[in-house]
Structure 1
Amino acid sequence: MTTPAESDGTEANASGAATLTKDAAPGDVLLKVTGLQKHFPIRKGLLQRQAGAVRAVDGIDFEVRAGETLGVVGESGCGKSTMGRLITRLLEPTAGKVEFEGQDITHLGVGGMRPLRRDVQMIFQDPYSSLNPRHTIGTIVGAPFKLQGVTPEGGIKKEVQRLLEVVGLNPEHYNRYPHEFSGGQRQRIGIARALALNPKLVVADEPVSALDVSIQAQVVNLLDDLQQELGLTYVIIAHDLSVVRHVSDRIAVMYLGKIVELADRDLLYKTPMHPYTKALMSAVPIPDPRRKNAKSERILLKGDVPSPISPPSGCRFHTRCWKATEICKTTEPVLVELTPGQRVACHHPENFEDQAPQDTVLLTAAKEAAELVPDEVLEESAQTSAAEAEAPAEGGTSSAEKGDASGGKA
C-alpha cells in the first residue's frame, strides 16, 4: 500500500525530527520512558497557594519497540490516560524523561514538537467530542496535511478519500458533518485523521470503550489490520482485558500511578505475578454456558482505590492486598524482572518464589482482604509459591512452610 505523504518523509526528518527512517527494523526501541511523573497541583484560598498535588503518574519506566503493541490496563483513575497524553506531549511532565527514537522530547515546546507530530499521533477516547462539529469530515481528516505543510500526491482531497476508504468509510461522505455518523464511524474518522501523515507511533486512549459491543470488534480488527499493513507501533490504553489480550504483544498493569506488572501477553494471562493483576484477571467473564452453575473464583478487592492525593506508603496496593505484610507497608517494591519477559513490583508475588520470606505476619488489612478471596485461590497461590521456592535449591524451606511459621521476621 502506498503510504500518505511518503515522498515527504525524508524532508520531515531533515527539518528536525528523529533520524530513524520510516522502515525502522522491528524490535528497535522506538519510545523509552524513564521515571515519568505528572502531579496536578491543588490550589486553595484567595492567593491560590498550592495545598497539595494529585499524583496521577508517579514514576513509571517502560520501553516500546518498533512494530509492537503495548497494552496498558488498570482501574479508572490509575493514570492511564494521563500517561498517554504525557508520551504524546499533550501534557508537560512534572519529572522524568521521554525519548522518541533516541531524542529527548520531554520538554520540547510547540515549535520543537511540530516536526515530530507527524510521527506521534493519538486516537482519543470519545469519538463524539474529539471531532469538531462545525467542520466537514474532509476538513477534519485533511487538517494534518495543512498543519504540516504537506501536499500529498494527487491532492489533499484524493488522499483524504483514500484514507476514508482504508478505515472502511464511504469516500463519498467527504462533505458530511460528524453528527451524520454513528459512534463507530466517528471513531474510524478519528483513526483516519491519526493515520494521515503515516505516523510511527499511535497512542490509542480507550479507542473502543465508548462504542457498542457489536462495533468494538470491527474497530479493534481494523487497528490490527492497519498495523500489519502499515507497520505501526501502538500503545493501547484500555480497561477491557479481552480487548487488550486480543491486540497486545506486551501488557503493562497500572495501579495508582505506578506500573505494578509488565509482561508478555501470554505470560500475564497464564501466570500473573502481582496480586492486583490476579484480581483483575479473575474479573474477566468466561462466556461458557456449561460453567453457569460453577462456583465463581472471582477475587473481590476490599474497599476503593486510595486517593492519588495521598497514596499509601510502601506498596500502594497493600491496603487491599490479601498477602500484605509489614515490609509492604514500609518499603516500596521495585519493578524487577523475575522471569524472562515478566517484570513485577511485589514483595510476595503470585506464581513465584517469595521475595520477602522473612516477613510472614499479615497486616490487619490483609486479613480482612483475605476473607474476600476464595479458598481455591489462596490454596493455589500457596502451592505455586511453594513449588517455585523449592525449585532453585534442594532442601530449602518452601514458601508455604514459611507462611505457616508462627514467628515474625527472622
Structure 2
Amino acid sequence: MSENAEDKAVKASGAATLSKDAAPGETLLKVTGLQKHFPIKKGLLQRQVGAVRAVDGLDFEVRSGETLGVVGESGCGKSTMGRLITRLLEPTAGTIEFEGKDITHLGVSGMRPMRRDVQMIFQDPYSSLNPRHTIGTIVGAPFRLQGVEPEGGIKKEVQRLLSVVGLNPEHYNRYPHEFSGGQRQRIGIARALALKPRLVVADEPVSALDVSIQAQVVNLMDDLQEELGLTYVIIAHDLSVVRHVSDRIAVMYLGKIVELADRDSLYKAPMHPYTKALMSAVPIPDPKRKNAKSERILLKGDVPSPISPPSGCRFHTRCWKATEICKTTEPALLELRPGQRVACHHPENFADQAPQDTVLLTAAKEAAELVADEVLAESAETSAAVAAELAEETGETAEAEETSQSAESTDASESAESAESAESTESTESTEK
C-alpha cells in the first residue's frame, strides 16, 4: 500500500490514532515568545502611528491528550492567541512548534497538510457556517479540500459524524437556518473532527448557548476526547466550565499569561491577585449562604488599552498589593510551586518575591477600598510574616556587621600599638649607638 493510500485508510478509520512523535503526555504544541501586534495607520499615506498589542509575549506548552483552559476578561487576547496557534493569523514575533516542527511562518501550501492535525471550533455558531451550503457540504468540505476519500464515501462518513455529535443523519441535506444554536455548534464540532485532528482549539464553544445546551456540548467534547484521544485548548469566560473540562488553566491579562497551573492548584490556592479576583466572581449555588457576607473582589476601573499598556506589571493599575517595583519592573513567569507558574512580585498564598518594597501605590490604596476585608487580612498576614523574616535576616546581618567592625577596630589598634613599639625600639637603638 502506498503512503497516500495508508494515510487515506488511517483517516477513514474510526479508531483514534496518535503519531509516534505525540505519545500521551509528551509535548504536542510549544509556544515561545508569541506576539501579535495589529498596526494602527492614519493619514493619506497610511503611516503607522501605533499598534494594538493583542498578544504580547506568551510562553506555554500543551501536552498530548490534555485539555488546556484559557480564561481572562474580554479583550485580553484569548481569541487572537487561538487563531495564532492554528495559524489563521500571522504572528508578529515568537515561535510555534507542533510536534517539534516550526510552523510559525508556513505558507498556505505548507500548512495544508497540517490542517488535518490542527482544527478550530469557532465561537459564533451562526456566522461560522455558510448559510448557502447544506450541512452535508459543510461537514464534508475537509475531505474534499484534503483529497481524502473515506471508506464508503463522503456522504456515509458525514452521516456517521452527525450521529457521533448527536444529530440526525437524515438531516444531511438541511441548511444551517433550520437548526438551533446548540445544533449548529454540534455541526461545527463535527466539521472540526472530520479528519480526526490531534489538536482542537475551541474558541468559547458554549458561550452563545443556553445553559442546558452548554452541559450537553461540554459532555460531548469530553466523550469525544476519550474516544478519539484529542488534545484541547479551550478558550472560555465561564470559570465553572473551564474547571469541569480542563487539566491545566492559563489566566491571561492584557496580552500576557499571569498564571499557569493545574486545575486543583489554581482553584484551591490562586497565587496571582487577578486570578483571586476572578475566582471570587464565581457564584456558589448554596441557599444557606444567601445572607452571608459576600467575599466578592471588585476591581477598580477597566482593563487598560492594549495600544499603550501600563509599564511594569500590567495589573498594577487595578491591584490592591501594587508597590513601586510593580510599576517599574515587569515580573517574570516563574514556577513558585511545582506545576504553578506566576508572574507577580507580591503573590497570594506565598512569600513576596519583592518583600523590601512595602509602600503601596495610590492606585493600590484606591483598589483596596473595593476588596473584601478577608482578602486584605490574608494579604496583610502574608506581608507581615515576610516582613518578620526580613527583619530577622536584617538583624542577623547587622550583628554580623557590628562583629566584623569591632574585629577590624581591634586589629587596627593592635597594629598601631605594634608599630609604636617598633618605632620606640628603633629610637632607643639609635641613641645607644
Q: Counterpart of 2:252?
A: 254
Query: What whole-Å deviation, never above 9, does each CA across 1:281-308 have from its counterpart, x for those lacking one?
Result: 0000001111111110100001010000
Q: Counterpart of 2:116?
A: 118
Q: Counterpart of 2:308?
A: 310
Letter in 2 for 1:343: R
Secondary structure of the corresponding residue to residue 257 of structure 2: strand
Q: Counterpart of 1:295?
A: 293
Matched, 1:396 2:389: yes
- The structure-2 alpha-carbon separation of the partners of 1:23 and 1:230, relative to structure 1 and needing over 3 Å to count, comes to farther
Alignment of 1:10-409 (within 5 A): 21=19, 24-384=22-382, 389=386, 396-397=389-390
Query: What whole-Å deviation, never above 9, does each CA across 1:33-55 have from its counterpart, x for those lacking one?
Result: 00000000000011111010000
| Counterpart Cα distance in 1 of 2:5 and 2:30 | 26
Give aligned-pair identity as a percent.
89
Letter in 2 for 1:260: V
| Counterpart Cα distance in 1 of 2:248 and 2:306 | 26
Letter in 2 for 1:119: D
1:384 CA drift (Å): 4.8
2:54/2:255 contact within 8 Å kept:
yes
| Counterpart Cα distance in 2 of 1:6 and 1:37 | 39
Letter in 2 for 1:359: D
| Counterpart Cα distance in 2 of 1:242 and 1:385 | 31
| Counterpart Cα distance in 2 of 1:194 and 1:104 | 22
| Counterpart Cα distance in 1 of 2:5 and 2:382 | 52
**Which blocks of at least 5 consecutive residues in structure 1 are unaligned?**
13-19, 400-410
- The structure-2 alpha-carbon separation of the partners of 1:293 and 1:398, relative to structure 1 and needing over 3 Å to count, comes to farther
1:386/1:398 contact within 8 Å kept:
no
What is the number of residues matched between the two proteins?
385
Query: What whole-Å deviation, never above 9, does each CA across 1:297-352 have from its counterpart, x for those lacking one?
Result: 10000101000000000000000000000000000000000000100000000000
Secondary structure of the corresponding residue to residue 316 of structure 2: coil
| Counterpart Cα distance in 2 of 1:174 and 1:38 | 39
Letter in 1 for 2:251: V
1:396 CA drift (Å): 2.6
- The structure-2 alpha-carbon separation of the partners of 1:349 and 1:190, relative to structure 1 and needing over 3 Å to count, comes to same
1:11 CA drift (Å): 8.6
1:9 CA drift (Å): 6.1
2:312/2:328 contact within 8 Å kept:
yes
Provide the aligned C-alpha RMSD in A: 2.0
| Counterpart Cα distance in 1 of 2:251 and 2:195 | 30
1:383 CA drift (Å): 3.0
| Counterpart Cα distance in 2 of 1:9 and 1:314 | 52
Q: Counterpart of 1:405?
A: none
1:351/1:385 contact within 8 Å kept:
no
- The structure-2 alpha-carbon separation of the partners of 1:21 and 1:6, relative to structure 1 and needing over 3 Å to count, comes to farther
- The structure-2 alpha-carbon separation of the partners of 1:69 and 1:337, relative to structure 1 and needing over 3 Å to count, comes to same
- The structure-2 alpha-carbon separation of the partners of 1:23 and 1:213, relative to structure 1 and needing over 3 Å to count, comes to farther
| Counterpart Cα distance in 2 of 1:104 and 1:140 | 30
Query: What whole-Å deviation, never above 9, does each CA across 1:111-166 have from its counterpart, x for those lacking one?
Result: 00000000000000000000000000000000000000000011000000000000
2:134/2:176 contact within 8 Å kept:
yes
- The structure-2 alpha-carbon separation of the partners of 1:262 and 1:10, relative to structure 1 and needing over 3 Å to count, comes to farther
| Counterpart Cα distance in 1 of 2:139 and 2:320 | 50
| Counterpart Cα distance in 1 of 2:255 and 2:358 | 27
- The structure-2 alpha-carbon separation of the partners of 1:102 and 1:338, relative to structure 1 and needing over 3 Å to count, comes to same
The TM-score with structure 2 as length reference comes to 0.86
Letter in 2 for 1:8: D
Letter in 2 for 1:289: P
Secondary structure of the corresponding residue to residue 224 of structure 1: helix
| Counterpart Cα distance in 2 of 1:7 and 1:39 | 41
| Counterpart Cα distance in 2 of 1:232 and 1:6 | 23
Q: Counterpart of 1:8?
A: 7
Structure number with the higher helix fraction is 2
| Counterpart Cα distance in 2 of 1:127 and 1:339 | 39
**Which blocks of at least 5 consecutive residues in structure 2 are unaligned?**
12-17, 393-433
1:350/1:385 contact within 8 Å kept:
no
Letter in 2 for 1:34: T
1:374 CA drift (Å): 1.2
| Counterpart Cα distance in 2 of 1:321 and 1:116 | 42
| Counterpart Cα distance in 2 of 1:90 and 1:111 | 13
Letter in 1 for 2:41: R
Q: Counterpart of 2:396?
A: none
